[in-house]
Amino acid sequence: MASLADHHHLHFVLIPFMCPGHLIPMVDLARLLAQHGVIVTLITTPLNAIRFAIRFEKIINRDIQSGLPIRLLKLRFPCAEAALPEGCENVDSLPSRNLSKNFSDAARMLQQPIEKFLEETSPGPSCIVSDRYLPWTINVSRKFGIPRLAFDGTSCFAFICSHKVMLSRIHEKVSDSEYFVVPGLPDRIELTKAQLPSTINQSSTTFRDRHEEIKAADETSYGLVFNSFQELEDTYVEECRKLQGDKIWCIGPVSLCNKENIDKGQRGNKTSIDEEQCLKWLNSWPSKSVVYACLGTLGCMSPLQLIELGLALEASKRPFMWVIRDGGEEEKYGVMLKREEIRKAIEMVMDEEEGKEKRKKAREVGRMAKKAFGRRTGGGSSHRNFKLPVEDILKESKRRLCT
């Protein structure tokens, strides 16, 4: 096994997709690589630096001060060239989902400045770690003759489900509310068209072509890295290997690299109230009594659905913290849930007796995740899996030096 000193010869360039749910775990991955002695350059853009990276810089600067080899590279995002409104440097800042293709085009225009950086940087790049949704980075990988690791922030299960749905196009043969069985899975998984993400529900040839481009880049990458852990979805890890080959590594959850409360609090967007105020309010309630409602950065509900959710939370008679995204248009697809359905679901989980097994299972999964990510007694599965691609890239780098 190589030492940390050997890893200092490696330089990993991380290229995240500019969306909070993609960017944040990539920052965690950057920190993990640096903690293993790898020189890391994380690429971002000016406004993402203001929104995210300045908060990250507080974390990253502490890492740098402690001697970790991590850097931020800020590149201008070509909004005007892609016919985007000025300042749209992140998916969640788009005024309309109709501009998604423009955003992808703008991201693709970063290829040239990235290549210029790679030509000039020292030490030279050893590996590109790219978000899967940036398939053009495979061209950069080929040009420089260096491996590309594709990073997926979800799971092997989601990866395989998406693949099977897109391959069969079964969702195109049913109505929005009609259930269908996802074909070719080890388990019986039933979904409706309305439950699928909008990226799959798009029927245009543009989106289908982009899916094929992502698929082709995955297949020619050195390997795929998932923000998941082996014990959570062992069957679907094996399904991924059947599809993509052996170089599949589950290294998550990478958020567990944040040990300090200050690091956890400074991830993501700035909230309308500060972390201390949130903690003070949370501490005023008994442990495990608060409902946390959050549908993600890109969750866009109709006003009617927002009302139903709000009334359901209120009807639950339990303290709740509700995170709502500021602005954005509602999703075309989605399942309309009534307040009584939501209230019953909250009661089912929060009820002392009825929800006991579910809470027990959730705690067990949490313990499994920490064990997988941990370093004790040789390290858990994610800790070991994290080392494997780094060791592979080190061998590949030495081989190239010798040829």
Given 7, 22, 163, 383, which residue is catalytic?
22
**Same domain (yes/no): 40, 189:** yes
Q: In this structure, is residue 243 part of a structural domain?
A: yes
Output 342 or 98, whichever has higher pLDDT: 342
Q: In this structure, is residue 102 part of a structural domain?
A: no
Residue 346 is part of which domain span? 272-354
pLDDT of residue 328: 79
Question: What is the residue-wise DSSP string for 11-75?
Answer: EEEEE--SSHHHHHHHHHHHHHHHHTT-EEEEEE-HHHIIIIIHHHHHHHHHHHHTT--EEEEE-
**Same domain (yes/no): 219, 305:** no
**Same domain (yes/no): 237, 114:** yes
Q: Encoding tokens for residue 183? A: 């074909």
pLDDT of residue 329: 61
Residue 18 to residue 106: CA distance in whole angstroms: 11
**Same domain (yes/no): 277, 254:** no
Is the predicted pLDDT of residue 297 greater than 60, yes or no?
Answer: yes
Q: Is residue 234 among the annotated active site residues?
A: no
* pLDDT tens digits along 229-275: 999 999 999 999 999 999 999 999 999 988 765 455 555 556 667 77
Q: In this structure, is residue 71 part of a structural domain?
A: yes
**Same domain (yes/no): 316, 195:** no
**Same domain (yes/no): 308, 251:** no
**Same domain (yes/no): 202, 294:** no
In eight-state DSSP terms, residue 331 is: P
Q: Is residue 131 among the annotated active site residues?
A: yes
**Same domain (yes/no): 289, 140:** no
Split at pLDDT 50, 70, 90, the class of 375 is: confident
Q: In this structure, is residue 92 part of a structural domain?
A: no
Q: In this structure, is residue 70 part of a structural domain?
A: yes
Is the predicted pLDDT of residue 401 greater than 70, yes or no?
Answer: yes
Q: In this structure, is residue 318 part of a structural domain?
A: yes
**Same domain (yes/no): 65, 195:** yes
Q: In this structure, is residue 131 part of a structural domain?
A: yes
Contact 298, 92 (CB under 8 A): yes
Q: How many domains does the chain have?
A: 2
Average pLDDT, the chain: 87
Is the predicted pLDDT of residue 149 greater than 70, yes or no?
Answer: yes
pLDDT of residue 196: 86
Q: In this structure, is residue 98 part of a structural domain?
A: no
Given 28, 131, 152, 263, which residue is catalytic?
131
Outline where DSSP puts E strands in 135-235. Answer: 148-152, 179-181, 190-192, 223-226
**Same domain (yes/no): 244, 149:** yes
What DSSP element (H or E) covers 344?
helix 339-350
Domain of residue 176, CATH code: 3.40.50.2000
Split at pLDDT 50, 70, 90, the class of 3 is: low
Least confident of 198-212, 276-290, 312-326, 357-371: 198-212
**Same domain (yes/no): 305, 395:** no
Split at pLDDT 50, 70, 90, the class of 184 is: very high
pLDDT of residue 384: 94
**Same domain (yes/no): 286, 163:** no
Contact 90, 18 (CB under 8 A): yes
**Average pLDDT of span 175-184:** 91
